[in-house]
Structure 1
Amino acid sequence: MKEQEKQTLVINVNLTRGLVTLLTLALLTTAFLGYLAWGQREVVASSPQAPAAGSTGLRQYYLTTISYDGSAADVACASGYHMASLWEILDPSNLEYNAILGWTVGDSGQGPIAGYFGWVRTGWSSDNPSTAGQGNCNSWSSNSGSNYGTQVGLSNNWTAAEDIHVWNATTISCDFTRPVWCVED
């Protein structure tokens, strides 16, 4: 061979918009199916697991079995719990009563007791008036008989008009001892 011959092959491809769209969809479909077939995670209908036996998975609350004056109410709860604001326990149907830590009576079963009051946080500034929802024994630092704190109890009169949701609310002077409503951290 005297001299190497160079050959050039020219391919003329005329692609239409429809053909490009079809090829793109085919490529994406292939990639998606490949991901499903060889992906690292299994495909399942639902991944949350049921809570452990004996637990409902709901946040727990309870009323202490020991009474405290207004200056000690905010440290009354067991480890893992804190003094509840009414707004944290307002709807007991979304909570689980801890009958092991909490006060129970003959007909309370595994639920809270009705008609018994306990100290509760108000969400109000440090104050001591005799107005339910505002009195908080000066942010639970006072045990003075001239200061007031808010206490709530589940209604045992299901026809009373003064209920706050299912709760009755009132104030009592901070030198009185009351149980405390506690809620899980």
Structure 2
Amino acid sequence: MDKVKLRRELLAARASLSPERRRANATFIRETLLDQPWVQMAGLVACYWSTGTEPETHGLVLALWKHGATVILPVHREDDDLDWAVYDGPDTLAPGRSGIMEPVDTRRGVAAIRTAALVIVPALAVDRTTGVRLGRGGGSYDRALARVGPNVPTVALLHDGELVEGIPAEPHDQAVRWAATPEGLVRLPAAPE
């Protein structure tokens, strides 16, 4: 399976989803995650601010923050790595270098993700047999995930039909331990017992 072709097909499928379906997906995913004790107990959560047709995270970030978690969001660096800064409410975001909303708080450094008790990442798809995620191709999240400890839950948010088999893996690709879809939460082979 060619990654470029797969990305194109997945982006086209996402574009065909109605706004109502995307909102419903976001609600199901948010509620499923918030029902998990390991999500409720996470004091520091690394997440992302969704854009376009990604599964929407704005409500999830706000809910985690309102429930007392410290939420850090990525700040895209010039070298395509991810720095991290604390989210302190919707008024503390501004457009970043790629137009995606980022926190205006002090940058915590690329290693800040090491201290997260839960890491939520974007993905276009995840391989159900290996946990390898297919991103946009820049490698930013693979670098960030490589810094996460082996027992920290890493969760990719997906729309229906994006948990697939046969995603080609390259040496730098990092597996996630969970996939959250509108149908529920799926534990992947990379998840510790």
Q: TM-score by structure 1 length? A: 0.21
Greater relative contact order, per chain length (Cα 8 Å cut-off, separation 6+): 1
Larger Rg: 1
Q: TM-score by structure 2 length? A: 0.20
Larger proportion of strand: 2
